[in-house]
Structures are given as C-alpha cells and as structure tokens.
Amino acid sequence: MPDKPDRNAIEVVNVSKIFGSGDGQVAALDTVSVSIRENEFFTLLGPSGCGKTTLLRLIAGFDFPTAGEILLYGQDIALLPPFKRPVNTVFQSYALFPHMTVADNIGFGLEMLGKPKAEIKARVAEMLKLVKMEALAGRRTSQISGGQQQRVALARALAPQPKVLLLDEPLSALDYKLRKEMQIELKRLQHETGITFIFVTHDQEEALTMSDRIAVMSSGKILQVGSPRDIYDRPAERFVADFIGESNFLKADVVGVSGGRATVKLSSGTEIPASLPDGFSPSGKVTIVVRPEHAQLGGASPSASLSGTVENIVYLGTDTHFHLRLAGGEPFIVRRQNSRGAGDGIVQGGQIGIMIGSDAAQVLKD
Amino acid sequence: MATAEEVAKAAERRDVRDRWLLSAPALLVIFLAATGPLLIVLIYSFLTPGPYGDVKWQFSPDAWLSVFMERDIFDDTLSLAAAHVTIFWRSIKLAVVTTIATLTLGFPTAYFMATRSEKTRDLWLFLITIPFWTNLLIRTFAVLQIIRNEGIINTILIKLGIVSTPVQILYTDTAILIGMAYVYLPLMVLPIYASMEKLDFRLVEAGYDLYATRFKVLRKIIFPLVKPGVIAGSILVFIPALGAYVTPSVLGGGKNMMLSNLIELQFGQGRNWPLGSALSITVMIIVMVALLAYVRNAGKSGVRHG
C-alpha cells in the first residue's frame, strides 16, 4: 500500500442521528467520530441496520445530523444541502434518470454546475472512456444491463470531479462474477482519479479486497478502524472477530500484561502469549480469538496448547476444515491448506493436539 | 374425405364465428352507448329543423353553415357569425385557463400527497375525493355563497377595511373560473398523484446530489417523469370544462353565454335541433384537435420515454 498523505478529507466529529421522536426514537448513529484521509479507499462495513448507510447519507447531505460536525477539508458541511457539497454518490439502485440517455446522465452534474457545453461534452467522452462505455453513449438507461448501469452510475458521480465519492453498496445487485470484476475496476478507478472513496458494504470480502482502511460498525457505533490486515488479524472486539472471517473464541485468564501483550492461561492449563487491542489492559477472565488458519494440528504431543476430538473433516479443495471438540466441550475449527498427496492419518473420532503460535491469539475487549 | 387443408379452413371459420359471438355483447353496448347516439347526432345535423323542435327528414346544410356563418335576412348574403365565434372563443379560453389554474394548484397538491407517509397518503386521497360525493349543483351554490356580495370573502374584505363596497365577483368570468377550478381540481390532482406516487424519489436525491437546485430537480427530473399524469389530468379537466353547463349558468348568471348554454338553447327555446347537433359535433372536433396538438407537443419537448 502506497503511503497516503495525512490530510483528512472528511472528519466526522461526535455525530449522532436520531430518527423519530418520543418513545419511537431510534438512534441510528450514536456519537460517532472518524477521520477519512485524502485519496483513501475507506470502507464502512457492518450488518444491515448498523448505521453505515445513515452515516453515508449524512456525508452526502440527504439527512442532517441530530448532533455533531461533519468537516470536509476543515469546513463544516453538516447542514449544507446536497447540491452545495462537492461530494457525489453512487446509489445502491444506481438511480439513473430513466428519461435521459447514458451521455445525458453522465453530463447532468456538469450541466447543473453551469459548465460550458463544450467542456461537458469533452468530460462526458472522457468519462465514457474511463468506464469503457463509449459505444452505448446514446442508449437509454433502460436499454443497458445491470453491470453497464453500474458503470454509468459511477461515471455520472465521477464526472463533476467530486472531492469525495460515496458508494452505497453499489455492487450488491450484480452477480458474483461481475461483482469480482467491478471490485478490481473500482480499485483502478480510485487509483486513476485520485478521489477519496467512501464505500459502504455488508460484504466482508469486498471490504477486505478493496479498502485501504475499514471501519467496522454495529448498532450505530464504530467498533474498530484499521487496515484490512489489522481488522482481520487483530480484531478488538468479539463482534468484529465474528463478523469478519471465521473465529475460534476461547475463555482464558490473564496471567500477566507487558508491552501491549498478555500471557493468558487457557482452560487446559497451558499458558500462551496473546496480543492486546491498543490501549487495553485486561485482568481476570477474558475471551481470546484464534483464526482457524492460525492454529496448527500436531498429533497428540504434550507440547500442544490444547487437545480435542476430531468431530468432522471437511475437504474443500484448496484447504481442509477440521471441526474439533475441546476437552472443555467448546468447538474449535482448524483450517489447513492442502498439499498434493496422501492424507495425513487424521481420522474422525481421533484425539489430536492443537498448537497456537506465539502470535496467533488476540485478546478481545468484551 | 376432407383434406387436412379443408379441416383447417373449417376450424378457422368456426374460430372467427366464435370470436364475433363472444364479443357481441361488448360490441352491442359500445354501439348503443357510444357510436349509435353519435350517429344520430351526426344525421340530425344535416336535417331541417321542425316547427316545434324535432327535425324534418329533409337534407339541409343550413345547420352547419350557421355554426360559423349567418345569413342576412334581407339579401341572403353570408357573413361571419360573430356571436357564435365569441362564444366559442370565450368557452375555449375559459377551459384553457381552468386547466392551467387546476394544474398550478393540483401539481403541488399531488406532490404534497405523494411525499406523505403511506398511511397519511390514504387520508389525503380520501379528503380529495370527498367533494365527488356531493351533487355538483350544491357544490356550485356553495361557491356562490362564498363569492357573492354578502358572502364570506366580501364580508372579510369590508370588515378589514380593505374595500368599502363589495367587490363584484359573482356573475363575472372570474366567478366561473373560481367555480370550475374548484369543481375540476380533483380530476387534475388524482392522475398527477398516481404518476407521482410511482416516482422513485431516489432519483430526486440523485438530482440534488448532482448539484441540481430544488427548482432544477422539479423541472429536469420530477416534471418529465410525471408528465403522463399531467397530460391525463389536463385532458380530464379540459374536456368537461369546455362543455361545462351548470357552473357557468349558476356563477355566470347567464350573462355571458358559454358553448353549453348555446347548445342547450338550440334544443330548447331555439327549436333548432340540427344546429344544436352541428354545434355539439363542432365542440367534439375542437376537443379532438386540441388534444392531438397538446399530446403531440407534450410528448416532443425533450422527453423520450423508454
């Protein structure tokens, strides 16, 4: 990942959004703060109803925050109407104007900005080329496929050269293969245009592949902000670990803490090192998380951290999932990459040791 | 032995016969209710008026001539029937103004209704349709009560000291316009509302997002997309407004004759059924020409629907 300048494109400061009034009040966002850097591909990730779309709509100007500030390059835009913000949106449903051609759709923003005709024409041609839609410029938007509509929506939002581009689950309506293609395409567009992208999705894979940084949201709060690797390898909370990828959760007791790392004692009595979330200093009982591919199987050797019974072996081609049951009754999954050749003698019902490496375990905040 | 071809032909004949039989009731209703009466009117317009109304079965183009011409009683020369032209012009003008007035009032009303929550929408729809439950004559007299010299408007104006003597509204073209706009407003609101309700308001958001101001969004996005409703509403208002009888009679006081009054006159005191028939058909032709022009124009102006 190239170094990003440290300038913030968007700063969200203590923003709350409450819908309804009286007993029907719903806090869609609860004192959320986050900074989005210039030129960054930033993703808001979370399940439906977590407030990610609300946050996007506040930045776009379709809704206004109940409290807090939204700064665009230092200027508070929280209460500006959408047509006064140099921010454009790619809608989930694309929202292309059905009474206009592809080219007219792309040129709409520039036309509204009062740009000269010649400039609009040139820019539209440039955008059509960027999204590879030159051949369909004169088509009505109802006469093109979903993937093509997606490209037009992108071109339309990029044409006025916004300072920030907002994308509201733009790939959710596409089929799997097209979605994969568009993920790469979006990354390319972001790179070529140098515009800050804020991308909303509930698809963890999409978030991990495309983003420079991800904010994981749940129930109107941002739980963790970090690079995809940070979020995956060092989840701070159980929700984050659970929502992104597969996880093994284990109960443990903190034995000692030093320099951002802890030593925890597992139920089996083994002590292992575990990393800590930033600025978190636990004591007593905690939950630790171990990703299935970060644990190894190791016969029944005494050096193993844990031991369990093999309940199920699922062969998946590239790798195999071993579903284990620990001595204490908890489930544990180990994923191992397959190599060509015969099996390794692990059989269903057998006892097996599990080794957790020195950097495989992570203590969770809750 | 019948060949396959003959069998197929017989089956097809049977098929055609069955189709006619099955559609006969519908065709009968259409003939009795629409085509038949129209045909009678058309035939009557080419006959000679009888002395006590009715017609004499004798061909005469006089009725059609006197729609726009009048024969001088002394030297039999033809000249333009100024009175008829004035009445036609006044009626058309009033119908057009009524259509514009209802559109101006009805469009925001429909927009307001369509942007309410789903539950309250039904309530507004209900309120809009309530006037339909009341007799037209009663509604017209209600308007009369409001605008007459001793009515609500004038009372308030005098009490507030804005005017010293009542403003004469009743028995003017303004009175007819107020009455017609009130009576026909729901006919404009409902079709526009039906279009507006189907409007995807995310398109409106997209418009705002792309730097369109509120007015631009209205002109460039909302209006083109609800245009079918606007066209339907305009047609629904223009046609009855052109032929309106009750409202102009009551609120106009019969001072300024409208097309409907003129036609009524021919079948009543005028005892000239052929002229009445010819006038009726002329109105139909005007409506048809006006609508064709309107629809064609509205369909052209920059909007291409897919």
Same domain, A257 and A207: no
The pLDDT of residue B302? 44
CB contact under 8 Å between B203 and A140, yes or no, is no
**C-alpha–C-alpha distance, residues B207 and B67, integer Å:** 52
Which DSSP string do the residues of B11-40 spell out, in sequence order?
HHHHHHHHHHHHHHHHHHHHIIIIIHHHHH
The pLDDT of residue B305? 43
Same domain, A219 and A254: no
Domain-located, residue A283: yes
Kindly state whether B194 is in contact with chain A, defined as any CB-CB distance less than 8 angstroms.
no
Q: Which residue of B has its CA nearest to A159?
A: B210
Q: Which residues 6+ apart lie within 8 Å of B304 measured at CB?
A: A99, A140
Among the partner residues B207, B211, B225, nearest to A160 by beta-carbon distance: B211
CB contact under 8 Å between A60 and B209, yes or no, is yes
Token pair for A168: 């509201």
- How confident is the model over A40-61, as pLDDT tens digits? 999 999 999 899 999 999 999 9
The pLDDT of residue A303? 64
Residue A353 pLDDT exceeds 70: yes
Same domain, A229 and A256: no
What's the pLDDT band for A299 if we cut at 50, 70, 90?
A: low
Domain-located, residue A25: yes
CA angle A362, A363, A364 (to 5 degrees): 115
What is the pLDDT of chain A when averaged over all its residues? 90
Same domain, A121 and A188: yes
Same domain, A223 and A254: no
The pLDDT of residue A210? 92
What global pTM score does this model have?
0.80
Q: What is the mean pLDDT of residues A203-212?
A: 92
What is the pLDDT of chain B when averaged over all its residues? 89
The pLDDT of residue A1? 46
CB contact under 8 Å between B306 and A93, yes or no, is no
CA angle B77, B79, B83 (to 5 degrees): 135
The ipTM of this complex is 0.83
Same domain, A77 and A166: yes
Nearest Cα of chain B lies from the Cα of A103 at a distance, in angstroms, of 14
- How confident is the model over A102-142, as pLDDT tens digits? 999 999 999 999 999 999 999 999 999 988 899 999 999 98
CB contact under 8 Å between A140 and B306, yes or no, is yes
Looking from the CA of B287 toward its CB, the CA atoms found within 13 Å total 18
Overall size of chain B counted in residues: 306
The separation between CA A150 and the C-alpha centre of its own chain, rounded to angstroms, equals 20
Residues of chain A with Cβ-Cβ distance to B198 below 8 Å are none
CB contact under 8 Å between B210 and A112, yes or no, is yes
Domain-located, residue A48: yes
Q: How many domains does chain A have?
A: 2
Could you give the C-alpha distances from A269 to A289, A310, A351, in angstroms and in order?
17, 20, 18
Domain-located, residue A102: yes
Domain-located, residue A3: no
Domain-located, residue A43: yes
Which CATH architecture group holds B94-256? Orthogonal Bundle (1.10)
Q: A308: domain CATH number?
A: 2.40.50.140
Q: What is the mean pLDDT of residues B85-105?
A: 93
Q: What is the mean pLDDT of residues B202-215?
A: 94
The pLDDT of residue B1? 60
Residue A4 pLDDT exceeds 70: no
Q: Which residue of B has its CA nearest to A160?
A: B210
Q: Which domain holds residue A102?
A: 8-233
The pLDDT of residue B306? 36
